[in-house]
Amino acid sequence: MNAAEITDKLGLHSLRQRHWYIQSTCATSGEGLYEGLDWLSNNIANKVSSCKSC
């Protein structure tokens, strides 16, 4: 499946108040894995930074 198909199957466009990202990866070579984990890490760090004032 490509990223658009996964997005549609999971209904991600209906998630209005959540950040989401589909990163294509290859299980055998690991291609794309670090990019996806970087996105996740950056978004968690941004969330923690913004919640410090909560």
SS3 22: coil
13 within some domain:
yes
Domain-located, residue 23: yes
Assigned domain for 37 exists: yes
Q: How many domains does the chain have?
A: 1
Residue 34 lies in a domain: yes
Record the tokens describing residue 45, joined without a space. 């760090």
**What local confidence, expressed as pLDDT, does residue 5 receive?**
96
Question: pTM of this prediction?
Answer: 0.70
What pLDDT, in 10s, does the model give residues 3-19? 999 999 999 999 998 88
d(CA 13, CA 11) in angstroms, rounded, equals 6
Q: Residue 8 belongs to what domain range?
A: 3-49
Mean pLDDT of 35-51: 89
